A and B are shown apart, each in its own frame.
Chain A
């Protein structure tokens, strides 16, 4: 009886092992490594020359990227963090309800995010839902992302037109220089969008070189600040478009609270301007 039971148990275990092996197909460690390296290298090769390079994957960068890629424009988003979405995951004070004002809720309709009207003209939606759908929509439209990569410098071409970006891995800048003497790489782009938020890293780099002057964002005239950000979205320097809160830094517009409508609409306007510039700089 005991022998029979042992034999039965052995058979069951053998079956389980066979079954388990069938859940995942066989792949060696070297296969996994080769897959990562070859695909990433292939993507990098393809995206060393793009139509639009966007610095920052916050709401305005994502929206601009999504709209551009939807029209078949080769778009690469460079994000210094591991995660995409910037501050769009949370509203104010670490609370993950985000607010948007009319008419920006129409973008939520487009990407299929539920929302409700809190008071007339003010809409609320869960940050994780809105942010994840915005990222998904950008990916679905064909945007390529390079996360954990940091903007390092600009590429300037004839007549000082911005025509690319120099990037490096984020950890490189986080470690002491003595052990991270790693040279960056450059990517060419017809148009660069600075969607890096208040830091406005691309604009600041131009300022460092004395090519542009920025007053920085200020508490200048708070009323209609969202309108002002959208209205000022545009080409701040030949080949460079600013969107989102980078607009505030570039033009000295008022700082805003955690309302995201203008970020999305600014991204959309930035994409429209980029389409025109691509034709212009062809």
Chain B
């Protein structure tokens, strides 16, 4: 085992190295003085290698990537260090030279494909433009090149896509356009900044496959920035774990994910719910505290204040980067102890004794809920007969039992949020019955009695929009108590303090305004507010989707804890299957406004599955490089809810489509057991056999996945 402190001359360029970064420090000039947001980073990327940069938000991943290509905002600069691209020092090049490198030798793929494509130019033109500028091609040649690239990224019907505009393409298609235009010049390095974060999990899986295939073909190197450990495990050859502007651990994917020689890596991995884990078995680990701000860095190890392995020496001086094995670096002083005794800082999630119950009183029942939105068709409505309707929710029935969590999963646009809003009354259901504790609720919010209102509360997705910025967070929690309860002023104050304690917020937060809180804290306040009226059922609409993994884990633990102590039922809506699996007792899989599979969480995640569930499951990125998943990919995106396909709604994308019957007849419910039902034409035994054996017919998906 080599064990030495890395010095500059140790890093030598060999032929294979495409990018070599040495001691890079990025400084931002702020009003408070210069701030080093990225400090002393050294890394090497070889040809054909996918290098993952992973870390929570604010860890400096994007800043580092932008510094490498010298594309920093006006007040940012690289204050020291070198960046060698195939031996050329990029930091010394004049800006005019850099402009030639951008787009030719280094290209970028951004997070939000909708914003990265010019909406007023045909997409083909935007790809061709790169070829004209950087490859000096003629118009006709560039056009040919663009078609070639679109074919390479498996775009169906590239010639017609050439003429389309951004708004005519789905997010997944746009991301392919961006990848195509990033690859036109056959660059040495592509920087991908969260390229799939804005996409659905099914689309993400397809794009990740595509990137993987293209890399092998072109031998291009990639810096892949993401916060998703599962994506890193699936995509990358090597990974750097960033924290507060420094690399904490770096190595091959197996070195980092298996040996985990830095507590931060272990902490991050412990936060992610495993697909097989449920709240009754384990509680998630979480990392206490916050990423330090760049102007308030601790003197010693920057992770020390949040680390449970911290000792005096950790606080005294910044630990140096140590090479634990060949190519495996860690910035932890105690890595040797960690290696020998992994149990010191374990990322294993603590086992817990959860209550095992099946039955409970029926709390909420929704029968045949439908929600149609009528859309004005503009001029065409003049000659078209009948209103055009978006059938967002088309006949959904569920039952939620007291103290249980019903998880609702599906891709975006499948109607899960609209369904939840119909239950809460924020949207008025077009038809159907909502029955709460045996009492039929009016479909409109305005007709519901205060006593009915207080029983259904909601936690929303966006923590920034869910609190009134002008009210102190204490007021936000106080108001429902004043409104719904018959409590004296003193009792109200006491309850507010109790609620703040229940969501683990210190009491002095009561007088703060929302902008003084972090995203996770705001969401805690929103949870406290929802619990203030002691609801029977709480609807959680993607409450953790916009938060960092460590905050997600803490919030999920909190939700479980509150459910156990208060006996509240949850309707938990998410596209994150692992989170749904962890929190839910029951799961309903929704596609195009209807449920296709429903059952206890364990059953739904075990074969036989509905083919849609199967596809969702196989798309989940799992943070373990050794896990081999079935590869089932869905074609295209969810069809429009205006023209719902006849027969089985899923037949247009189903990888296991039987044939005519799926296109013509609506499938019927088949019952696997008392609690688990699937709505599909394929016989259960056949499904079980297919899925157990893992044989997947993909011949029906021309052009999508090879």
Q: Do A and B come from one complex?
A: no
Interface residues of B (CB under 8 A from A): none
Interface residues of A (CB under 8 A from B): none
